[in-house]
Amino acid sequence: MAKRYGNLIGGKWITQGSKGTLENRNPANDREIVGIFPQSGIKEVNAAVSAAKKAFEKWRLVPAPKRGEIIKRAGDLMVKYKEELAKLETREMGKILDETRGDVQEGIDTAYYMAGEGRRMFGDTVPCELPNKTGFSIRQPVGVCGMITPWNFPMAIPTWKAFPALVCGNTVVIKPATDTPATVVRLGEILEEAGLPPGCFNIICGSGSGVGAPLCEHPDVRAISFTGSTNVGAQIAEVCGRLNKKVSLEMGGKNAQIVMDDADLDLALQGALWGAFGTSGQRCTATSRLILHKKIAKKFIAMLVKEASKLRVGNGLDAKTQMGPIVNESAMKGILEYIRIGKEEDKATLALGGKQLKRGNHAKGWFLEPTIFTGVTHKMRIFWEEIFGPVLSVIEVKSFDEAIERINQSHFGLSSSIYTRDVNRAFAAIRDIEAGITYINGPTIGAEIQLPFGGVKGTGNGHRESSHTVLDMFTEWKSVYVDFSGQLQRAQIDTE
C-alpha cells in the first residue's frame, strides 16, 4: 500500500485535503505510486498563512545567528540522510542517482552558506553631513513568504528559497510541484528535527490553481518566490504587481554552448553531452542549442552523434543508467510534438533519436532517446522555443561575431557557454553574451551556490537566488539616523 503523506500546517501533519488526494508516481515505472498526498485548496492555504503569520511574530525576534544555527543543523541532517533523500528524489522525478545526490548536496551547501549569513547580513554605516549625527542601514524580514517550486530540483530549489528566507527572519508557506512533493515533505521533517519552531515552515500540496493562485493572492503573504514556466511567471507577476508584493521569478531558458574552431573538441564534446542530456534535458540551464564554428562542425557533429548514441537510458536507480526518464506523460507529449515540428522545419535534419522508448526495461516508464537536430537556423521554432527535454539543436556559424549574434537571438537569457583557447574571445564573450550566467570552457549547467543564480530577458525579473544577493529578496532595508546633538538639525537646510 502506498505511503500517505500530509501537509505541514503550524507544526501539524494533516493527511486530509479539502479537494481529495493526488498520486505521486515514479516516471521510470508509472505503475509505482511513490506516495499519496492531500489535494489542497484555499482552506489549507488560509490555515498555513495564518500559522506562518503567527509564528513570524516570535521568529523575527530570534537573533539571526541563532536562526542560522538551526539551518546549519538542518544541513547536518541532510548529510546524514543524503542517500535516502537522493533515492527518494530519483523515484519521484527520475534523474540518475549521481544527479540527485548532487541535488541534495546543493541543499547542504545552501544550508551551510546561509547559516553563515546569519552572522553577516551586512548593512552600511556612513558619515552624516551634520555634527553629532550618525547613519546606518539594517536589514529587516519581510514577513510571510510564499514559495512555488518546480519538480526538476526538488531539494535544491526549495532550499535556495526557504533557507535564506528563514535566516532573514521570515516564515514560509511552500507549494511543492505535484510531481515531487515527497522530497519537500522530507525537508519539512528535517527542519522540524533541526529545531525550527512550529509554523515557520509550512507545506501545502496541490495544484497551481488550487494552491499557487490563492497563495499569491493572499493579503498576508508579503513576498512570492517562483521557479517555473515563463507563462505562469508572467501571471504571478501581474498578481503581485497589482497587490504590491515583492516577487522573484526564475523562469525559462534556451541556453546555448558555442564551440569555436580553436576549442579543445574532446572537452567541448563532454560539455555538450552533459549540458544537453543531463537530467534528460529537463533543466532551465540545459544546453538546448549548440553553436559550432563551420571549420569544426562536421567533425564535431560526428563525434557528438557517436557518443550520444551510446548513452544508456533507463531507471535512475540503476547504476549503469546515464539518462533517466521524462517526468510524466504530459511532458513526453510536449517534447514529441517539438520533435515532430523539428522534422517538418525546412533544412533541419534529425541526426539522432527522436523516438519514445517503449519496450523491455522502458515499457513502464516515460523514456525518450537522446535527440539531435542539425542544420538548424535562427528562423526555426526549435531554435527559439524551450523544449525542456533531451533535444539539442545544432547551428553552424562562420565567425565569433556571428556566434554571439546567434546566442543572443533568444527570448531568454539564463545560462551560456563558450569553448575557446583564445583569452580575448573569452572575455569578449563574457562582456557581450546576454545571460545571467556565462561559462568559459564548461557546460551550461553546474552553478554553485556562492554566486548569484538567475537570468535576463524572459528568464527572470531581476532578482537572483543563491549567494548573498538573495538576501535582497527576503529583507527590507531600513535606514537609521541617530542625532546626539541635543538640538534640532534640519539636514540639507542647515548645511548651507
> Which residues are identified as catalytic?
250, 284
Beta pairing class for 367-368 and 356-357: antiparallel
Are 4 and 35 in contact by the 8 Å Cβ rule? The answer is yes
Q: What cell numbers appear for 208 in the block?
A: 497551481
Enumerate the β-bridge partners of residue 249. 226
Residue type at position 36: I
Are 459 and 414 in contact by the 8 Å Cβ rule? The answer is yes
The alpha carbon of 389 is separated from its chain's Cα centroid by a whole number of angstroms, namely: 16
Are 118 and 69 in contact by the 8 Å Cβ rule? The answer is yes
- Cα–Cα distance measured from residue 32 to residue 228, given in angstroms and rounded to the nearest whole number: 26
- Through-space distance between the first and last CA atoms of the chain, rounded to whole angstroms: 80
- Cα–Cα distance measured from residue 129 to residue 209, given in angstroms and rounded to the nearest whole number: 53
Are 205 and 7 in contact by the 8 Å Cβ rule? The answer is yes
Q: Where are the alpha helices (DSSP H) in 353-438?
A: 381-384, 400-408, 423-432
- Cα–Cα distance measured from residue 487 to residue 369, given in angstroms and rounded to the nearest whole number: 77
From residue 466, how far is each of 158, 250, 401, 405, 435 by CA, in Å?
A: 11, 12, 32, 29, 16
- Cα–Cα distance measured from residue 122 to residue 134, given in angstroms and rounded to the nearest whole number: 17
Beta pairing class for 221-227 and 144-148: parallel
Enumerate the β-bridge partners of residue 250. 227, 460
Q: What DSSP state is assigned to residue 470?
A: G
The alpha carbon of 290 is separated from its chain's Cα centroid by a whole number of angstroms, namely: 22
- In 3D, which of 445, 381, 365 has the Cα closest to residue 31? 365
Q: What DSSP state is assigned to residue 152?
A: S
